[in-house]
């Protein structure tokens, strides 16, 4: 059973939007994994500093930074997992569109919900990514707060 050029064009046309979503989510995921790696490295540095510090005030600041970094790592982990789930649902969407075009099977009951679920997973991923960005500022404020006399107001 061969695929005619017209059918191939229909398959490619139907798959363009989901494939673009995969590309975009992949780039977001790359950013998230880089932040996650940096968070892990920073937490290891903080724990090394904690082992060496004697000053109790500095130690308290480092402990709080470690707590924040740990929360950030958890947020990023959830964001990365949700991004991967989004890509998985997009792959199901593309497969169902392919089956619909090649086999003539009516699988709208699969492709539409999968695409919707992928977008919901993407929204969840972005929510946790934004939470991480907010927490990173809190950790920075703990670290440099004593060096900045009057930090600018958030705008």
Check whether 10 has a pLDDT greater than 80.
no
Per-residue pLDDT, averaged over 1-30, amounts to 80
Residues 131, 64: Cα–Cα separation, whole Å: 17
pLDDT at 149: 62
Q: What is the Rg, in whole angstroms, of the alpha carbon atoms belonging to the chain?
A: 23
pLDDT digits (tens, 9 = 90+) for 38-90: 999 999 999 999 888 888 888 888 899 899 999 999 999 999 999 999 999 99
Q: Are 11 and 97 in contact (CB under 8 A)?
A: yes
Burial class (CB in 10 A: 0-12, 13-18, 19+), 33: middle
pLDDT at 112: 85
pLDDT at 100: 80
CA distances from 44 to 33, 106, 132, 145 (A): 17, 52, 18, 21
Only one residue has tokens 């989901």, namely 18
Domain ranges of the chain: 18-144
Could you tell me the pTM of the whole model?
A: 0.81
pLDDT at 154: 54
């Amino acid at each position: 059973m061969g695929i005619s050029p017209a059918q191939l064009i229909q398959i490619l046309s139907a798959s363009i939007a989901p494939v673009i979503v995969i590309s975009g989510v992949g780039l977001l995921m790359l950013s998230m994994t880089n932040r996650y790696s940096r968070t892990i490295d920073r937490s290891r540095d903080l724990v090394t500093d904690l082992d060496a510090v004697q000053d109790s005030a500095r130690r308290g600041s480092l402990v709080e930074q470690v707590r924040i970094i740990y929360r950030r790592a958890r947020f990023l982990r959830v964001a990365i997992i949700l991004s991967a789930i989004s890509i998985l649902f997009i792959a199901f969407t593309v497969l169902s569109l392919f089956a619909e075009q090649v086999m003539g099977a009516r699988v709208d009951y699969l492709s539409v919900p999968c695409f919707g679920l992928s977008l919901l997973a993407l929204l969840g991923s972005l929510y946790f990514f934004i939470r991480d960005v907010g927490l990173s500022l809190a950790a920075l404020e703990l670290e440099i707060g004593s060096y900045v006399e009057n930090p600018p107001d958030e705008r």
